[in-house]
Each structure stands twice: as C-alpha cells, then as structure tokens.
C-alpha cells in the first residue's frame, strides 16, 4: 500500500513538472545553489591564476631572453655575410680589371693599415717581398691608379699614394694626347701642372698615365679635370683633378709585378748654378 502511495506521488510530481507547475518552485530552490556554485568557481579560478601566472611570466621572460639572443646572433651573422659579400664584389671587380689587361701580371693585396695623419698619403698592404713585390711597382684598383710600392718587408709593403706631396706622375689628356705633370699635396689634392697655355682644357677632361718617366705603365685612368687655372702672365696653366679612386675607402689593390720601373733621374740634365 505504501509503495502504491509513493508511486502515485512520484507520478504526480512528474506530471506537475512536465506541465510546468513546479518551475517557480525549482527556480526559488535552485537559484541560490547556482549562485553559490558560481561564487565558488570564480574564487577557485582566481586562486588558480594567482598560483600559476607567475610561473607563466617567468617562462615568458626566459623565452623572450632566448629569442633576443637568437636575434642578436642572426644580426651578427647578417653583418658578417654582408662584409663577405662586399669583399667578394671587390675581388670580382679586381679580377675583371686584370682580365682586361692580360699583358700585366698582378698580385692582389688587402689594405691592412692606413696613414694615421689627417691627410692620407700611404697605405700598408698584406704582401711583401716573399710574394714578389719590389720597390717601385705600380699599384692600381679596378678604377684607376693608386700609387706605387715605396717600401717592402718580407710579408708587407707600404704604398705611396699619388696624393702624397712628393708624388709626381707623368700624365696625358685622353682627348688630345697632350702631356702634363700630376703632383700631390699635403692636403691630398691633385694638381695638374706644366699644361701648355695654348691647350684648351675643359672641366671633365679625362687624365691618363702617359708612360713617360719610367715610373708607371701608360693608359691607366687617374681622374678628371674639375677646375682650370689659367693666367696670361704664366708660362703654363694648371688644373685641379678629381681622382677616380677613393683613397679613404681602399680595401684591396692590385700590384703590377711584371712592370720594371726605370729611374731616369740621373739622365735628366740639371741646370748649372
């Protein structure tokens, strides 16, 4: 009998629940329980984040430091590769120049030292007498004339640049074959001297070595005229020359080893006092 009564109660409750009559009762009863559950859940997540977040921050900082180290390494590698590329381009340019003048023999050298004075008059190269270099040998780049070997040791050499005050180069104008003298200066400027007064000299005229004087081969590019100084009272006119070689950025040069310079100074007549 009790079982029948319980069954009838259960069936009645189901009917009432399915009919929606018990919804207000459930809402009033379960609402506080749901609110309590949300409060407990929010406090649990706050405690969980408080415990775990510091570990995540430490991990992120470590990872960030690792990435910064990797970026620095890659930047250094890029710089090194760029330097190697620049060196390769310089060497290829020197090789192309050597191929255009197969009559000459060359030794490629790197510049390892520079004149410490404000005005660059010489550089040091990393080849010497052990490599066949001798005093007086001409030095060039793929652009033009640099100077000549001035002093030699077994493994290095000093190159006197054409900008040196004591440098004298016999040159000619490409357009007219007229000859002149190119001299350096303490300021590193190049001056064209002993230019005939009747010669028309214009800005942009190309200057080449003439081969006279026995110090340099002929037809090596030197530079261009940038300014002309002409006075009717002078026997000769002069001009300022812009060299094609940038002496402040020299990295590699070619030494012409099969050219034998000739010292013609003893053969030049001197004026008696």
Alpha-carbon torsion 45, 46, 52, 53, what sign? positive
Rounded Cα–Cα distance for residues 114 and 118 (Å): 10
Rounded Cα–Cα distance for residues 90 and 250 (Å): 10
CB 191 within 8 A of CB 241: yes
CB 211 within 8 A of CB 227: no
Question: What is residue 96's three-state secondary structure?
Answer: helix
According to the model, what pLDDT value does residue 273 have? 47
Rounded Cα–Cα distance for residues 167 and 243 (Å): 14
Rounded Cα–Cα distance for residues 146 and 108 (Å): 13
Closest residue by Cα to residue 94 from 84, 108, 81: 108
Q: Residue 29, Cα to own-chain centre: how many angstroms?
A: 80
Q: Which segments of the chain have a pLDDT < 70?
A: 1-3, 5-36, 44, 48-58, 83-97, 263-273
Question: What is residue 224's three-state secondary structure?
Answer: strand
According to the model, what pLDDT value does residue 103 have? 80
According to the model, what pLDDT value does residue 188 have? 86
Residues 241/246/252/258 CA torsion (nearest 10 deg)? 0
Structural tokens at position 13: 């409750």
According to the model, what pLDDT value does residue 198 have? 87
Tally Cβ neighbours within 10 Å of residue 126.
15
Question: Which runs of E-coded beta strand occur in 7-156?
Answer: 106-114, 122-125, 138-140, 145-152
Measured in residues, the chain has a length of 273
Contacts of 214 (CB under 8 A, 6+ apart): 261, 262, 263, 264
Distances, alpha carbon 174 to alpha carbons 157, 177, 193, 208, in Å:
31, 6, 16, 6
CB 194 within 8 A of CB 204: no
According to the model, what pLDDT value does residue 272 have? 47
Q: pTM (2 decimals)?
A: 0.64
Rounded Cα–Cα distance for residues 205 and 12 (Å): 118
């Amino acid at each position: 009998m009790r079982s029948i009564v319980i069954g009838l109660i259960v069936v009645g409750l189901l009917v009432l629940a399915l009919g929606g009559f018990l919804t207000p009762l459930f809402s009033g009863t379960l609402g506080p329980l749901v609110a309590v559950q949300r409060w407990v859940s929010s406090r649990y997540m706050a405690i969980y984040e408080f415990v775990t977040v510091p570990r995540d921050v430490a991990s992120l900082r470590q990872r960030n430091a690792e990435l910064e180290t990797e970026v620095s390494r890659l930047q250094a590698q890029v710089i090194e590769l760029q330097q190697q590329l620049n060196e390769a381009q310089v060497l290829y340019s020197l090789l192309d120049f050597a191929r255009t003048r197969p009559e000459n023999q060359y030794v490629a050298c790197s510049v390892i030292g520079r004149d410490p004075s404000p005005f660059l008059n010489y550089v040091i190269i990393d080849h010497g007498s052990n490599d066949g270099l001798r005093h007086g040998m001409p030095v060039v780049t793929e652009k033009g004339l640099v100077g000549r070997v001035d002093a030699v040791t077994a493994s290095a050499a000093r190159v006197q640049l054409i900008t040196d005050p004591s440098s004298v180069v016999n040159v000619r104008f490409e357009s007219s074959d007229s000859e002149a003298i190119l001299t350096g200066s303490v300021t590193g400027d190049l001056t064209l001297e002993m230019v005939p007064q009747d010669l028309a000299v214009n800005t942009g005229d190309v200057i080449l070595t003439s081969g006279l004087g026995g110090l340099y081969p002929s037809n090596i590019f030197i530079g261009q005229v940038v300014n002309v100084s002409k006075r009717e009272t002078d026997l000769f006119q002069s001009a300022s020359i812009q060299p094609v070689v940038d002496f402040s950025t020299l990295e590699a040069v070619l030494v012409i080893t099969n050219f034998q310079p000739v010292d013609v100074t003893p053969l030049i007549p001197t004026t008696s006092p």
